[in-house]
Chain A
Amino acid sequence: MRPGGPPRNLRSGQRPEGARGCRGHVQFGKSPQSPPSRTRFPSPKPSVSAAVRDCFRHRRRDSPWRVWTAALPPGRGRLRMSPRPRASEVRGPTSGTPAASQAARNRASPGASPDPQPPVAGEAATGGGSCRGKEGTSGELLPGQRVCKMAAPMELFCWSGGWGLPSVDLDSLAVLTYTRFTGAPLKVHKISNPWQSPSGIQWPYKEGNCEGRSRSRQVMICGHTSFSISGTLPALRTSNGEVISVPHKIITHLRKEKYNADYDLSARQGADTLAFMSLLEEKLLPVLIHTFWIDAKNYVEVTRKWYAEAMPFPLNLFLPGRMQRKYMERLQLLCGEHRPENEEELEKELYQEARECLTLLSQRLGSQKFFFGDAPASLDAFVFSHLVLLLQAKLPSGKLQAHLRGLHNLCVYCTHILSLYFPRDVAEVPPPRQMPAGPETEEEPYRRRNQILSVLAGLAAMVGYALLSGIVSIQRASPARAPSARALGMAEEDEEE
């Protein structure tokens, strides 16, 4: 129970007893005609979400197979097991470890931790074992049956965090906040490589390794083995394998899945939500884009720096620039055709409207905790994401930032939500600030040592070359023999000449 008020979630009502926490079970009975392409394997990685873990636990504890089929609505029981997914799952822990470690590095999933690794692996093995046993006894797959569709949790891919925030991207932040408000059991992947996003065209195209054919543009869950060149973040991969990449549609999908933060709103409040979201989009968003991407100082010192450091080589060489061009084009189209000579005026006008918008939001919020009372709604998610970016990022030229800091109730509102729903991200902020100092001082003695060594090596190389090529010769002869040696040396020189 969150202290900020009851999350408006779980309006789906009664779920079957044996499937608690295992959302996929509810979906199994839905569409018998679902295309075979919707095959989902459980991730072989031990880093499964709580939902899938619960499934395994249930199955192991309560004569799993029976409970599972009992959880299906009667008359629609279908054998959904095939030996192959179980086998791959059992092999999972071994093969998935490198991927798991990478995923663990990238991920900041709320419920997962490295600890479930061994128990889940054990459970997976038992689950696989029992299922395979069952499979053996029941014979082949009956006609019309699909391959195993385990409870695939929804996965959210979004930009990773920075500047003291859970994510640096506006849309990702909005979606993340909404999921925290509603408590949706998503597996969150915080990545900094948009080419790993499941949206966009996948390459290389992967066929499903089971009876069902996967449709094009679907990525197998077995790992990030494919990438998408036009991928965008945030992206939600639903339990069906569908990928949604428009933030509003992601939230609509979550609402359909009964994670609705606006459930308790009256009709008038719902209308107000629409109105204020339009206000944000029209007045505040252009200026946010301008502040972070178009304003030269901010872009170079803050935005591009973060993206270039976060993205892997060689993407960081061209992707930030491409993103900037896209945003610039979007801004131009949003604001209409502006004549070049009026750019200064246009900028002034934009900022003035944004300031007005902030003041309006402040007036509407008043002294309430959230916009519609004591519990957060989707409007709060959007407003929070817009405001907190402006508030937290350390911008060199932040004209709007100064105005926002002057609106006290909005600042309190942002910090309240941040501390309540993203405590870990806020707590993570101080250590990284201290850490960069540490490695640097450690590196220094090594750096000095390396410098000295390299200088010595250079000197040794020069001297050795000089000696070997005869430019310099060492005369170790005694003083009596010295003249003859010198004569010899001179004779040699004469010969050379």
Chain B
Amino acid sequence: MWIFWQPEKAFLQMCNLPVKVVCRANAEYMSPSGKVPFIHVGNQVVSELGPIVQFVKAKGHSLSDGLDEVQKAEMKAYMELVNNMLLTAELYLQWCDEATVGEITHARYGSPYPWPLNHILAYQKQWEVKRKMKAIGWGNKTLDQVLEDVDQCCQALSQRLGTQPYFFNKQPTELDALVFGHLYTILTTQLTSDELSEKVKNYSNLLAFCRRIEQHYFEDRGKGRLS
């Protein structure tokens, strides 16, 4: 599976729900909305963090019950910020940055398929992503501008987090899961250049936040991958 499953996994882990990660080449086609990851529970398939959260809530697990209305509004807003900026920046780096595309993405994306399908599918996916970038206005952005946006987003998150252990009081919420997922991905994925992870590392409280969650919820992995 691709590298976007961290937020959902973190969320499910925080809810104390056991989860097993399965990698499939045709995951995008199996998903009901075309987006990965998705969870398969019994005979239901739910994709994307938002619906997953609601699905889990319907089953009686929720992380954000203790928040008041204003805080819930802020939480949703920050989640959208992360989706808007970090997710799009990750997509951009994977598919629109020529260096990364050539060295890493094409090979990884097309690896399950035989030639020439691996090239064709990779190019098709790249074209789709580029179209989407253009539609949301990121088509003409350079890498530096994207990195600047990431920096802005991290700054906003860092300011919101401040010195608290989690974003809202002492308990983690969906926002924490989402932020952790994305930052963890950025910090641990090998890309052609370290600029993206350097941007995140500039904010020490975010780094501490990630380490804390990793130790708390993923300690069965043994030593954390975050140095």
Is the A/B pair a real complex?
A: yes
Please state if B135 and A278 are interface contacts (CB–CB under 8 Å). no
Q: Which of A278, A357, A364 contacts B70 (CB 8 A)?
A: A364
Bound together, the chains give a CA A272 to CA B71 distance in angstroms of: 11
Please state if A330 and B135 are interface contacts (CB–CB under 8 Å). yes
Please state if A268 and B160 are interface contacts (CB–CB under 8 Å). yes
Is A422 at the interface (CB under 8 A from chain B)?
A: no
Q: Mark A274-313, 1 if CB is under 8 A from B, else 0.
A: 1110110111000000000000000000000000000000
Q: Mark A202-232, 1 if CB is under 8 A from B, else 0.
A: 0000000000000000000000000000000
**Which residues of chain B are within 8 angstroms of A330 by Cβ–Cβ distance?**
135
Bound together, the chains give a CA A431 to CA B160 distance in angstroms of: 49
Q: Mark B153-182, 1 if CB is under 8 A from A, else 0.
A: 101110110100000000000000000000
Please state if A333 and B132 are interface contacts (CB–CB under 8 Å). yes
Q: In the complex, what's the smallest C-beta–C-beta distance from B164 to chain A, in angstroms?
A: 12
Is B73 at the interface (CB under 8 A from chain A)?
A: yes
Q: Which of A272, A281, A360 contacts B84 (CB 8 A)?
A: A281
Bound together, the chains give a CA A374 to CA B57 distance in angstroms of: 38
Is B116 at the interface (CB under 8 A from chain A)?
A: no
**Which residues of chain A are within 8 angstroms of B78 by Cβ–Cβ distance?**
275
Q: Mark B75-95, 1 if CB is under 8 A from A, else 0.
A: 011101101110000000000
User: Knowing A336-B34, A361-B73 touch, does A268 contact B159 (C-beta < 8 A)?
Assistant: yes
Q: Which of A333, A338, A364 contacts B74 (CB 8 A)?
A: A364
Q: In the complex, what's the smallest C-beta–C-beta distance from A273 to chain B, in angstroms?
A: 8
Please state if B76 and A360 are interface contacts (CB–CB under 8 Å). yes
Q: How many residues of B contact A (CB 8 A)?
A: 29
**Which residues of chain A are within 8 angstroms of B162 by Cβ–Cβ distance?**
268
A281, closest chain B residue (CB)? B84
User: Knowing A279-B76, A279-B77, A364-B73 touch, does A274 contact B156 (C-beta < 8 A)?
Assistant: yes
Is B136 at the interface (CB under 8 A from chain A)?
A: yes
Please state if A333 and B69 are interface contacts (CB–CB under 8 Å). no
Looking at A268, A272, A281, the one whose CB has the most chain B CB atoms below 10 A away is A272
Is A363 at the interface (CB under 8 A from chain B)?
A: yes
User: Knowing A333-B132, A336-B33 touch, does A278 contact B157 (C-beta < 8 A)?
Assistant: no
Is A493 at the interface (CB under 8 A from chain B)?
A: no
Q: In the complex, what's the smallest C-beta–C-beta distance from A291 to chain B, in angstroms?
A: 18
User: Knowing A274-B81, A274-B153 touch, does A333 contact B159 (C-beta < 8 A)?
Assistant: no
Looking at B81, B83, B135, B137, the one whose CB has the most chain A CB atoms below 10 A away is B81
Bound together, the chains give a CA A344 to CA B73 distance in angstroms of: 27
Bound together, the chains give a CA A222 to CA B183 distance in angstroms of: 52
Please state if A363 and B81 are interface contacts (CB–CB under 8 Å). no
Is A334 at the interface (CB under 8 A from chain B)?
A: yes
Bound together, the chains give a CA A338 to CA B130 distance in angstroms of: 18
Bound together, the chains give a CA A279 to CA B79 distance in angstroms of: 8
Please state if A271 and B69 are interface contacts (CB–CB under 8 Å). no
Is A35 at the interface (CB under 8 A from chain B)?
A: no
Give me 22 A-to-B residue pairs in the complex whose CB atoms sit less than 8 angstroms apart, sorted by A's number: A267-B159, A268-B160, A268-B162, A270-B156, A270-B159, A275-B78, A278-B81, A278-B83, A278-B84, A279-B76, A281-B84, A330-B135, A333-B132, A333-B135, A333-B136, A334-B136, A360-B72, A360-B73, A360-B76, A363-B72, A363-B73, A366-B70
- 4 more CB-based (< 8 A) A-B contacts, given A271-B157, A275-B74, A278-B84: A270-B156, A271-B156, A363-B72, A364-B74
